[in-house]
Amino acid sequence: MIKGITLENPSSARRYMFMITWPIFIEVFLQMLMKLTDVFMLSFVSDQAVAAIGVVNQLMTFMFVLFNFTAMGAGVVVSQYVGADDKDGVRNTIASAVTINLLFGLAVSLFVGFNRQYLLNLFSLEPELFSYANSYALIVGFALFAQAMILTISSILQAMGFTKDVMLSVLVMNVLNIFGNYVLIFGALGFPRLGVTGVALSTAGVRLLIMAGMFVLLFRRMPVRIPVKSFFTLKKTFAMKILNIGVPSAGEQLSYNVSQIVLTIMITTLGATALATRVYTQNFMSVLVIFSVSIAKGMQIFIGQLVGADKQKEAFKYMYTGLKFASIVTIAIGGLFTFFGRQIFSIFSDDPGLIALGASILVIELLLQPARTGNMVIISALRAAGDAKFPVIIGITVMWGLLVPLAYVLGIVLGYGLPGIWFAMVVDEWIRASLMYVRWKKKRWMNKRLVPKRS
């Protein structure tokens, strides 16, 4: 399919992008729905439970970024080998990626599980919040390796074009998660009423089941058979290709998530209302960026395959198509969220202060989202083309040289609180998005192809 895409045939490119992206859209929507379901069900326990689990999930997101260094690298390398029609390259990349992240995932799981209290103490949580967070982190932490495998296999399957398989896997995950939450939080159908612990058991159990199912899918979809012994040996050439993309890519996301953790620590000093507002808003915004994330993931696959097929000119042009669509939809949906801000927050909380604060944050989010969309789409395209180092250099420089100090000054020193911190995020996103746009336009990424040309 990728061979038929040319500059003179944009309809073919749009059709292929749609075929890749629509299952990703549903998959991302289901991923976000699963988070919202957890928050909604936990809101029946208390706002404190929501805030505590939000803090733990910020920590878990940090760990997911560590897992993503292999998943993202493997996805890019596999997509380029698919574009180059090199089945041996696909096989060796997959074997190396699974081996790396299985070992790394097990190490991280043990570290988080045994050191959870030390990690949670970084947030200076109130006693009730710490109790909730500790119970959740104990169970979910030791099962983190399952998420490492889910991320890796999902990225590989999508890079090979099997986006529907990942979509269906996430659909099953949602159904199981909702059922597990229902029976374990509320004690339905004869199960014990476990509250926050029930959410943790449901999350960990579902991840283990889905991991097993995705291994089965991977073996069925492989273009060539992978012997079991391949998962216990690494080929240096392919491992280095994965790491050369994955480490810088993870570095950019790692910088972002660490900066967000620092912002969360600042927000905890503003009180439980500000912290709960932050958690609710992040979950609402996860719905808003579904389309942007979908386009970004689809763009990574599409650009990677075009570059692998030596179609850099087509890759340059069609990135703008994805960016335009994602921006239009983000602004439209963001406007609706802003207009109905109070009503949205009223669904989850009856605290007037929280509702008013949340509504004001959604107004600021309307300014932030176009830039965040640009960052997601363009960075994914740069990464897919092999240009993974530039985004991390810019990310570290701007986030730590501007975002964190500005957030502290506006939110804490000058006393603007949560709105001040959010405005600093707006400045950060717009500066980075502008620099990414210039990078793509200058075409510095065109000489960074990862796979050899087919003779």
Output the pLDDT for position 426: 94
Q: What is the pLDDT along the chain (455 residues), one digit of tens a residue?
A: 555 566 656 677 777 777 888 888 888 778 777 777 777 777 777 677 777 777 777 777 777 777 877 888 888 888 888 877 777 777 888 888 888 888 888 888 898 888 878 887 777 677 777 887 888 888 888 888 898 889 889 888 888 888 888 889 889 988 888 888 888 877 777 777 777 778 888 888 889 999 999 888 888 887 666 666 666 567 778 888 888 887 787 777 778 878 888 888 888 888 877 888 887 777 777 777 777 888 888 888 888 888 888 888 888 888 888 888 888 888 888 888 888 878 878 877 777 888 888 888 888 988 898 999 999 999 989 988 888 889 889 989 999 999 999 999 998 899 888 889 999 999 999 999 999 999 999 988 888 777 766 55
Say if CB 104 and CB 152 are below 8 A apart: no
Give pTM, 2 decimals: 0.75
In this structure, are residues 158 and 301 in contact, taking their beta carbons and an 8 Å threshold?
yes
DSSP per-residue codes, 282-308: HHHHHHHTHHHHHHHHHHHHHHHHHHH
Nearest to 169 by CA among 183, 156, 184: 156
pLDDT of residue 194: 76
Which tokens belong to 360? 């004001």
Task: Judge whether 38 lies within some domain.
Answer: yes
Q: Within 10 Å of residue 336's Cβ, how many Cβ atoms?
A: 11
What's residue 195's pLDDT?
75
273-276 — which CB contacts under 8 Å span 24+ positions?
273/351, 273/353, 273/354, 273/357, 274/357, 274/417, 274/418, 275/51, 275/54, 275/55, 276/47, 276/48, 276/50, 276/51, 276/54, 276/349, 276/351, 276/354
pLDDT, position 437: 94
- Does residue 147 lie within any of the structural domains? yes
Question: Does 451 map to a domain?
Answer: no
- Domain extent at residue 380: 8-443
Residues ≥6 apart with Cβ < 8 Å to 219: 226
- pLDDT score for 433: 94
Cα–Cα distances in angstroms (integers) from residue 297 to residues 24, 86, 128, 268, 292, in the given order: 7, 22, 38, 32, 9
Task: Give the DSSP letter of residue 222.
Answer: -
Is 2 part of a structural domain of the chain? no
Q: Cα(264)–Cα(255) distance, rounded to whole angstroms?
A: 14
> Domain for residue 452, yes or no?
no
User: Environment class of residue 220 by beta-carbon count within 10 Å: exposed (0-12), middle (13-18) or buried (19+)?
Assistant: exposed
Looking at the domain assignment, is residue 453 inside a domain?
A: no
Burial 119-143 (b: 16+ CB within 10 A, else e): bbeebebeeebbebbbbbbbbbbbb
51 falls within a domain: yes
Q: Is the CB of residue 53 less than 8 Å from the CB of residue 300?
A: no
- Cβ neighbours of residue 84 closer than 8 Å, sequence gap 6 or more: 308, 309, 310, 451, 452, 453, 454
- 455 found inside a domain: no
**pLDDT value, residue 290:** 78
DSSP per-residue string spanning 341-403 = HHHHHHHH---HHHHHHHHHHHHHHHHHHHHHHHHHHHHHHHHHTT--HHHHHHHHHHIIIII
Cα-based distances in Å from 64 to 59, 82, 369, 381, 421: 9, 26, 23, 21, 24
Q: How many structural domains is the chain composed of?
A: 1
CA distance 64 to 126: 26
Distance, CA of 28 to CA of 84 (rounded, Å): 28
Cα separation, 58 vs 260, whole angstroms: 8
